[in-house]
Amino acid sequence: MANRPELTLDPPNWDDVRKTGHQMVDDMIDLMRDIRQQPVWKPIPEDQQHRFDELLPHRPQSLESVYRIFKDNILPYGTGNMHPRFWGWVLGNGSHVSMFAEMLASAMNPNVGLGNQSSVRIEKQVLDWCKQMLNYPKTASGLLVSGASMANLNALLVARNHQTGGSVRRFGTLAQGKQMVLYCSTETHACIQKAAEVMGLGAAAVCKIPVDRNFRIRTDLLEKSIRSDIAGGLLPFCIVGNAGTVNTGAIDPMDELLAISRRFGLWFHVDGAFGALAKNVPEYAHELKALEEADSIAFDFHKWMHISYEAGCVLIRNADAHRLTFEQSPNYLLQHERGISPDIHSSGNYGIELSRGFKALKIWMSLKTHGIFAYSALIRQNIAQATHLAEQISQHPSLELMAPPGLNIVCFRYIDKKRPPSELQYINREILMRLQEKGIAVVSSTIVNGCYALRASICNHRSKKEDFDLLLEHTVQTGDELSALEPVKMFAFTR
């Protein structure tokens, strides 16, 4: 031991690291600046596949050479969501501020689970800003989490614990001796059912209520179900409202859901993964006003605020209910009067995780650099772009709008009156794949009223009007090419 040099991960020469680090910064700035010139997406070439199947590295290699592999073999083959013509699923672009903040947070590397330190204070500050953004009570609690799936789970755990007087924590789900039920529309994101399954309530606990022709929950049917479940000896505990459904961007009638939940003494949770942030857009302020009264809200920063993945948030109106769901005081987390641990496991008392990264910094830096007005203006711009896209689609003889555009989501398809619905489905599937593979644009898909639809979800601060025109031009052109083929040839493409 005495004669051996002591080991460290620090480099022997910091100047080499500095040089490579500066190169990384330069390259990433160039990448963001020039992203429009790149294809939206590229498949990983066959001859690169081995890069993803290497054996565990035993020996060191230089940071510079590892970075070169990243730049040549990893960087070009991402999801493509940095690009101005990426409108698949609900993915934000990211930004230079968020990128730098990730580096700074990582260098500092604090554990936000530990009390008396700046990262905890910055997270608290960000949570306070979230409450201000949504006009939610100052006394509410909250937590930054990886995304809306986790935020929804956190909120539903609190709902369940609170609505059962805390007995679930001690005795588990059997404590009630009754099937607990939560209500949401058939258009609700799958993470709500997953949460119910993970919570041990089972998928049977999720009562999916049909929607109207604008894809909003039918509140008359909701009330009827609650009454009949109570009469049948079940235990309704929560209503989940959608502030922007994932399929079509529909906003459930928040006022009515709030009123129903109050009438029956149920928890009212809002899944506002992307749509909650539209509350700051004047046209939507009224429709989303009832969020202020919700018992809990889940939303994301990595979608419509373009913070780098991952960044989601849950807010809980009743901070005590939140704490009582998760609080523990094990011996190794004792609090002290002074030092680093006066409030040692504060965030652990509000969620599942104990050790947590400094997600708050990228949100804090982005909000300080851009200001909330910039985000509201961009959200408004995306909604206007969705309206423009929908108008273009409705006026085009070869295109069909599949649902009323909601917020920033437009569902549509290529049509050719000569082709039966089954063939249209194949044609549209093929259009989607070709647009992606040619790097022209990325849209995703969904099923609307039983029909396959192309789906553009516009969470993009880089998109311009011309990008949407290009999408439609290539959709129609590709659709015409495919539709000119005999059905047999067409099927050969898609199998």
- Three-state SS string over 448-493 comes to ECCEEEEEEECCCCCCCHHHHHHHHHHHHHHHHHHHCCCHHHHHHH
Handedness of CA 286, 292, 293, 299 (dihedral sign): positive
Does position 189 bind ligand PLP by CB under 6 A?
yes
Q: With CB under 6 A, what is the number of residues at the site for ligand PLP? A: 14
How many beta carbons lie within 10 A of that of residue 391, not counting itself? 13
Nearer to ligand PLP, 268 or 426 (CB): 268
Smallest distance, Å, CB 271 to ligand PLP?
A: 5
Only segment of 97-105, 117-125, 143-151, 483-491 that touches ligand PLP (CB under 6 A): 143-151
> Do the beta carbons of residue 34 and residue 435 sit within 8 Å?
no
Nearer to ligand PLP, 142 or 479 (CB): 142
Nearer to ligand PLP, 102 or 430 (CB): 102
Smallest distance, Å, CB 246 to ligand PLP?
A: 4
Closest CA to 241 of 231, 233, 228, 250: 250
Figure out which of the listed residues 133, 238, 240, 273 binds ligand PLP, where binding follows CB under 6 A.
273
Smallest distance, Å, CB 149 to ligand PLP?
A: 3
Nearer to ligand PLP, 189 or 322 (CB): 189
Distances from the Cα of 413 to the Cα of 165, 290, 401, 473, angstroms: 49, 34, 7, 13
Structure token pair of residue 197: 């399954």
> Do the beta carbons of residue 178 and residue 202 sit within 8 Å?
no
Nearer to ligand PLP, 88 or 113 (CB): 88
How many beta carbons lie within 10 A of that of residue 63, not counting itself? 15
Figure out which of the listed residues 149, 225, 347, 460 binds ligand PLP, where binding follows CB under 6 A.
149
For ligand PLP, the nearest residue by Cβ is: 147
Only segment of 38-46, 193-201, 266-274, 428-436 that touches ligand PLP (CB under 6 A): 266-274
Smallest distance, Å, CB 164 to ligand PLP?
A: 25
How many beta carbons lie within 10 A of that of residue 437, not counting itself? 12
Only segment of 102-110, 122-130, 172-180, 268-276 that touches ligand PLP (CB under 6 A): 268-276
| Residue linked to tokens 């500050």 | 125
Does position 434 bind ligand PLP by CB under 6 A?
no
> Do the beta carbons of residue 361 and residue 104 sit within 8 Å?
yes
Structure token pair of residue 204: 């049977």
Does position 419 bind ligand PLP by CB under 6 A?
no
The Cα 211–Cα 143 span in angstroms is 31
Smallest distance, Å, CB 210 to ligand PLP?
A: 18
Figure out which of the listed residues 271, 287, 295, 430 binds ligand PLP, where binding follows CB under 6 A.
271
Nearer to ligand PLP, 119 or 248 (CB): 248
> Do the beta carbons of residue 85 and residue 442 sit within 8 Å?
yes
Instruction: Give the x/- contact pattern for ligand PLP in 319-338, rule: CB under 6 A.
Output: --------------------
Show contacts with ligand PLP in window 277-316 (CB under 6 A): 300, 312
List 235's β-bridge partners, or say none: 180
**DSSP-derived 3-state class of residue 11:** coil
Nearer to ligand PLP, 246 or 361 (CB): 246
Q: What is the separation, in whole angstroms, between the first and last Cα of the chain?
A: 64
Only segment of 37-45, 141-149, 340-348, 433-441 that touches ligand PLP (CB under 6 A): 141-149
Figure out which of the listed residues 88, 115, 147, 479 binds ligand PLP, where binding follows CB under 6 A.
147
Report the alpha-carbon angle 271-277-281, nearest 5: 135
**DSSP-derived 3-state class of residue 412:** strand
Figure out which of the listed residues 40, 82, 90, 250 binds ligand PLP, where binding follows CB under 6 A.
90
Report the alpha-carbon angle 222-226-231, nearest 5: 150
Show contacts with ligand PLP in window 236-255 (CB under 6 A): 244, 246
Interface positions with ligand PLP (CB under 6 A): 89-90, 147-149, 189, 191, 244, 246, 271, 273-274, 300, 312
